[in-house]
Structure 1
Amino acid sequence: MKKSILFLMFLLLASCNESEPKRQRIKSGFINKPGIYSVFQRDLKTKKIVLKQFKDESIIFAITDIHNKILFQQDLNETFSAYHYWCLYVDEHANVWYYNSDYDSPKAIILNPETELYEIKDFCKTKLLLPTEFRKELELKNAFTNCKSFN
């Protein structure tokens, strides 16, 4: 029931903007513009990352399967802002890494290949090995100031 309500809210909010979202394919890398990104991995089912910007310029993302079933949705209370630093990275295993400076939120959304479900982890607290490109970007922006495991 809760997932259905979240999905309906996401669809409602997504329909508030008339423009057609940009569609792209990606194996790994940064996602920083609104659109729908199909993530292809050799042994995994295709996932889609949907990055949506609303009229108030807040930004939210979700991960869906190929049939648009939501596998993960960013918390509506912690959206990205066009006015603050945020970074979203997809690795070659369909894991999603992001940092949101508005909330000092360092998150990894890790795909469990056996269950095909995503698990959310705080990559500072769990000391996960970050993808090299993502780590370099965060170091460049001094995003690790409150992350004790990287200081």
Structure 2
Amino acid sequence: MKKALLMVLVFICSCCKNDNNQFIKDNEFISQPGNYYHKSIKIIVKEFKDGSLIYGIADLRNNIIYQQDINKSFSNNSRWVLYIDKKDNIWFHTSDLQLTSVLLKGNLKYDYTYKRIYGNNTMPIPNEFKMNLK
């Protein structure tokens, strides 16, 4: 009887995942793989076995709103960051791909528009995000 109870306990413990699930607010940075919940969206930063990362945005029912191209994954060993500003825009930077982009929040609940940021860009970048890139 004790062996059966011990086996059930071991089985339950082994099935429990230790995901990095966090609730985040405006003006917060993400720099670790995991699942992050912000208002009505979920930001997923997935790490593969080879150490490469991609990120995606989904609603709370896991319907995909945006997913980074899997062929343009970035390394966890490089400098990368996701940032959510006060307007719910989601900023992304990776030194690995030398890429800075933003998902601009639209008027509708799950309306986001992808925009890549170039050096001569006229779009205002949040100061907190700029400071983190230095």
Q: TM over 0.5, yes or no?
A: yes
Query: How many positions carry a matched residue from both structures?
Result: 117
Unaligned residue ranges in structure 1 (runs of 5+): 1-17, 41-45, 141-151
Distance 1:110 1:128 in 2: 11
Alpha-carbon contact 1:49-1:61 (below 8 Å) kept: yes
Question: Over the residues paired in the alignment, what is the CA RMSD in angstroms?
Answer: 1.9
Task: In structure 1, give the amino acid aligned to 2:29.
Answer: F
Distance 1:57 1:76 in 2: 13
Deviation at 1:19, TM superposition (A): 4.6
Alpha-carbon contact 2:59-2:110 (below 8 Å) kept: no
**Which contiguous aligned blocks of 4+ residues in structure 1 show a shift greater than 4 angstroms?**
none
Equivalence for 1:14: none
Deviation at 1:115, TM superposition (A): 6.7
Q: Deviations over 1:71-125 (max 9, x none)?
A: 0001112112022222211123321111122221110111212373211112235
Unaligned residue ranges in structure 2 (runs of 5+): 1-15
Equivalence for 1:133: 128
Q: What is the TM-score normalised by the length of structure 1?
A: 0.70
Equivalence for 1:109: 103
Q: What is the TM-score normalised by the length of structure 2?
A: 0.78
Alpha-carbon contact 2:104-2:115 (below 8 Å) kept: yes
Equivalence for 1:13: none
Equivalence for 1:26: 24
Alpha-carbon contact 2:92-2:100 (below 8 Å) kept: yes
1:115–1:90 Cα change, 3 Å: closer
